[in-house]
Amino acid sequence: MNRHAQILTALASGAIFGIGLSLSGMLDPVRVRGFLHVAGDWDPSLAFVLGGAVAVVMSGIFVRRRLQNPAFGDAFHLPATMPIDTRLITGSAIFGIGWGLAGLCPGPALAALSLGLAPVALFVVAMLVGMTIHDRLIAGRTNTPALRRAP
Amino acid sequence: MTSYWPSLIGGMLIGLSAAMLLLLNGRVAGISGILGRLAQGAQVETNAAFAIGLISGPLLYRVGAGQWPPVTITASLPVIALAGLLVGFGTRMGSGCTSGHGVVGLARLSPRSVAAVVTFLLAGVATVTLMRLVAP
């Protein structure tokens, strides 16, 4: 029962995320790179997207503080407070370089698969390869359970 | 002049999606985390359901708006492949991307997420600026 509710919630949440990305214009790498091009004809759209999203999630966090458990789950799976370390900064910098190169990040790339464009499919495959390389080579070596390192 | 309303409302829908996943399922809507767990075979049913929903999003948008959302690819295929590798590797190493750190992490006022967002924004700005200098 709860399992089915969880699956339906995840499906609906994913669909709303994808509709929001489509409406926001952030599926388009040109718009994303326009935001990153601060030295040129800057496109501030991404700031509106991020601002709108953060504002809504903040109200969700406010409600969450009054709940013991999520409606369909056993517990809130939120990452524990950890110090800012080299992995976080190095990883984020590597991600930022890739993001700037193509104007694609994981959410928009996955959503844009539905348009059937070959370069987007190539990006998603390369991204999955990159994730696997990290998890096989790096995460295994440092013995950090990659599964538990959500943001 | 471009109107920023669609961006703001689209962003609020993304926020609604993340708030819903948190309050109902107790999970963070971080796409790199969801994809990574899926690739590792963890919580396959819910993570696959989210991914299927996400991919169907532009399709549902097309039904409502009557046209596909624009996706303009200008980068060459080798650059796309390199970018994908870096994005996949970097988001796993940095434990998140624009959604996990950028949306949920910032809303939680997580110092780690603030540091991550500042870092990937600076790296993205530097990359785009350098590329425009080399090939305007």
Closest CA of chain A from B1, distance in Å: 11
Is A90 strand, coil or helix? helix
For chain A, state the CA radius of gyration. 18
Burial A71-92 (b: 16+ CB within 10 A, else e): ebbeebebbeeeeeeebbbebb
Every domain of chain B and the residues it spans: 5-134
CB B120 within 8 A of CB A116: no
B38 close to A (CB below 8 A): no
Could you tell me the residue ranges of all domains in chain A? 1-78, 82-151
- Interface-testing mutation among B59, B128, B131, B134, with chain A (most A C-beta atoms within 10 A): B128
Cα B87 from chain centre: 11
**How close B30 gets to chain A, by Cα (Å)?**
8
pLDDT digits (tens, 9 = 90+) for B103-135: 999 999 999 999 999 999 999 999 999 999 988
| Inter-chain CB proximity B13 and A20 less than 8 Å | yes
Cβ of A126 within 8 Å of Cβ of B53? The answer is no
Out of B33-42, B64-73, B116-125, least confident range: B33-42
The answer to whether A25 contacts B16, with C-beta atoms less than 8 Å apart, is no
> Three-class SS of residue A123?
helix
Report the amino acid identity of residue B75.
A
pLDDT tens-place string over residues A17-62: 999 999 999 999 999 999 999 998 899 999 999 999 999 999 999 9
Q: What is the ipTM, given to two decimal places?
A: 0.96
The DSSP secondary-structure symbol of B74 reads -
More confident residue, A148 or B31: B31
Report d(CA B132, CA A39) in Å as an integer: 9
